[in-house]
Amino acid sequence: MSLVDQIIAWYSAHMNYASITGLMAVESSFIPFPSEVVIPPAAYVAENPESVLCATGNYPVDVLLIVLFGTLGAMIGAIINYALSVWLGRLIIYKFADSRLGHMCLLSSEKLERAEAYFREKGNVSTFVGRFIPGIRQLISIPAGLSRMHFGAFLWWTFLGAFIWNCILALVGYVAAGQADLINKYSHELSVAILVLLGAVACYYAVRWLIGRTKRR
């Protein structure tokens, strides 16, 4: 049994708001751990208290609190990444990513470069949009810290992205009835749908801005 499988088994027997917060903090930091195994099962158990997913019966009972505590955990992990990036700087962060321990955390300089390129392209809003992109979600706080993004803006965009993503995961957990394969499928499809929607909204406002600018001229 892998370490992740052991954690999932422990989580199933100790599913509560504290464990949700802790595991989501881990997921949002540089330590690889999928959020899909935290929020969806908790949301399903909350809506189906007779479920056997939680062996001890000590399960969370409010989906909104699950989302809020999951968001709190995600913000804690993101703040850790941000603070470490500010404190250690680019050179040490990249050396760690290419170290043996960094590789154990599934990090590499290539992944960090990809996250930095995405941050440079999208700007501060990338800490929001990046929450819906696999491979970027856990790392986007690092370039934010390296660029010393305004901390208030960082907190706001991180909260907004994490909250919406956790709402999606909670919905997926309910629809997929706690089944891991369906959770992975639906969470991926919904994240793509959210990105398409965000792109459409951005295009709409860009077109409105261009039309207004043309009229003013």
Please give the pLDDT value at position 173: 77
Residue 178 has pLDDT above 60, yes or no: no
Please give the pLDDT value at position 82: 93
Least confident of 40-54, 96-110, 143-157, 177-191: 177-191
Reported confidence tier of residue 71, pLDDT bands at 50, 70, 90: very high
Please give the pLDDT value at position 90: 83
Q: What is the pLDDT of residues 94-147, one digit of tens each?
A: 888 888 877 777 778 888 888 888 788 877 788 888 787 777 777 888 888 888
Cβ atoms 26, 8 nearer than 8 A:
no
Residue 53 has pLDDT above 80, yes or no: no
Mean pLDDT of 26-47: 80
Residue 159 has pLDDT above 90, yes or no: yes
Over the chain, what is the mean pLDDT? Answer: 77
Whole-model pTM? Answer: 0.76
DSSP 197-216: HHHHHHHHHHHHHHHHHHHH
